[in-house]
Chain A
């Protein structure tokens, strides 16, 4: 990674930990994090919806100073993730078992086409980092950066309420 006045032409080496695996790559500075995840690493569970920071389909979790934060991966450069831990939808299920939040989406029929779902789930888990047991209003505010054009949010909100209770009961903060 370039520091200070170091020349930064061409490609820059980055090292990231995605879903627990270390990846080292050389990337163009203008490569967006979402394209790095999808095209370089083949993790296509993170979606590109609007590509304008509105829809939240590209939401992932990023660790910063020991805290996991939901971010829109279409609005960050891959080079900015150097040295960071990232979590995408692919990193949630463990040993063939769905993550409680994924399971809650399944049980509550919180999706139709499923395009927004990975971003919704990551935003939901991001919200729980601040509010482990959110109220319905807090859930609605927490996912206000994620658009669903199918279900009208009712079941999504129900699912997040259920998922948060389950995660809290499991004393689970992330994955």
Chain B
């Protein structure tokens, strides 16, 4: 399968890339890891006239831990995150999620920024950045920071404009006394999620949950934070009943579309089951048994 013809540009700097996309306008498409865009171009679901390849821009690929903040360049590959010892020690939820994306070969090319900007409603990273309450830095004519909560607008739709490039994902490194889990339900190896739940919990000295962030992917038109579920467990000493209630609340907030991975009703129930498992696993890792 061949894509339609296009003109190819491989800028070496971010400013060259920004100039190109602003010149070419709506007919330009940014190529990051290419693991979604190239298949779409081969199927001719996307036929951009101009392709601006970011793979030569070294300044967009890095993993840094600075003063309590974790920073990842948007062109950082899934595999770099999966195998990073810094990420494993500071934000293990990212390693757990990265290792569940597609397969080895796709992870070697695919990037976190590409995945976030593509905004597939079943992708893994969106739930994770929501659970980490990450900030997404974008550059265009001006630089701006978008909270992950405000970034995902709908299926394949983000808060970015055509003339902007996502440059960095950053978040406060979770404190030592915290628990995490990315729990993914997939129909077959390497598939997109039937449902995926990212949970990041912080525990207070008194044994109550001091902070809870729970985000779901593949459970609605866009990934979302299950805020009712978060409220239910925050400030509480966790119990099995409470976790069950929170899972029910997350399921109630979900609005999955029926497809080959299951009916809406089935997926709604799986949202409950996997939220429960995700919270339980996060609690266990925070050293809390219920």
Q: Which of A5, A82, A146 has the most CB atoms of chain B within a 10 A radius of its CB? A: A5
Of the 9-residue stretches A26-34, A95-103, A106-114, A156-164, which lies at the interface with chain B? A26-34
The answer to whether B12 has its CB under 8 Å from any CB of chain A is: yes
B11, B39, B103, B105: the one within 8 Å of A3 (CB): B11
The answer to whether A21 has its CB under 8 Å from any CB of chain B is: no
B window 1-47: CB within 8 A of A: 1-13, 16, 19-20, 23, 34-35, 38-39, 41-43
The answer to whether A30 and B5 have CB atoms under 8 Å apart is: yes
The answer to whether A9 has its CB under 8 Å from any CB of chain B is: yes
The answer to whether A29 and B39 have CB atoms under 8 Å apart is: no
For the complex, give the distance between the alpha carbons of A3 and B15 in Å: 12
For the complex, give the distance between the alpha carbons of A12 and B83 in Å: 34
- Chain A residues whose CB sits within 8 angstroms of the CB of B175 once the complex forms: none
Measured CB to CB, the residues of B under 8 A from A are: 1-13, 16, 19-20, 23, 34-35, 38-39, 41-43, 51, 53, 55-56, 79, 83, 99, 102-106, 108-109, 189-190
For the complex, give the distance between the alpha carbons of A75 and B106 in Å: 9
- Chain B residues whose CB sits within 8 angstroms of the CB of A44 once the complex forms: none
The answer to whether A75 and B38 have CB atoms under 8 Å apart is: yes
Extra A-B contacts (14), CB below 8 Å, given A75-B39, A75-B109: A1-B10, A2-B10, A4-B11, A4-B20, A6-B9, A8-B8, A28-B5, A29-B6, A51-B42, A53-B38, A69-B108, A72-B109, A75-B106, A76-B34
- Known contacts being A3-B12, A3-B16, A53-B35, is A127 close to B55, with CB within 8 Å? no
Q: How many residues of A contact B (CB 8 A)?
A: 40
The answer to whether A115 has its CB under 8 Å from any CB of chain B is: no
A114-142 interface bits toward B, Cβ cutoff 8 Å, 1 = contact, 0 = none: 00000000010011001000000000011
A51, A82, A144: the one within 8 Å of B189 (CB): A144
- Known contacts being A12-B8, A75-B39, A77-B8, is A5 close to B20, with CB within 8 Å? yes
- Chain A residues whose CB sits within 8 angstroms of the CB of B42 once the complex forms: 32, 51-52
- Known contacts being A130-B83, A144-B190, is A71 close to B2, with CB within 8 Å? no
The answer to whether A148 has its CB under 8 Å from any CB of chain B is: no
- Known contacts being A29-B6, A75-B35, is A123 close to B105, with CB within 8 Å? yes
The answer to whether A2 and B105 have CB atoms under 8 Å apart is: no
- Known contacts being A53-B35, A76-B38, is A144 close to B8, with CB within 8 Å? no
The answer to whether A49 has its CB under 8 Å from any CB of chain B is: no
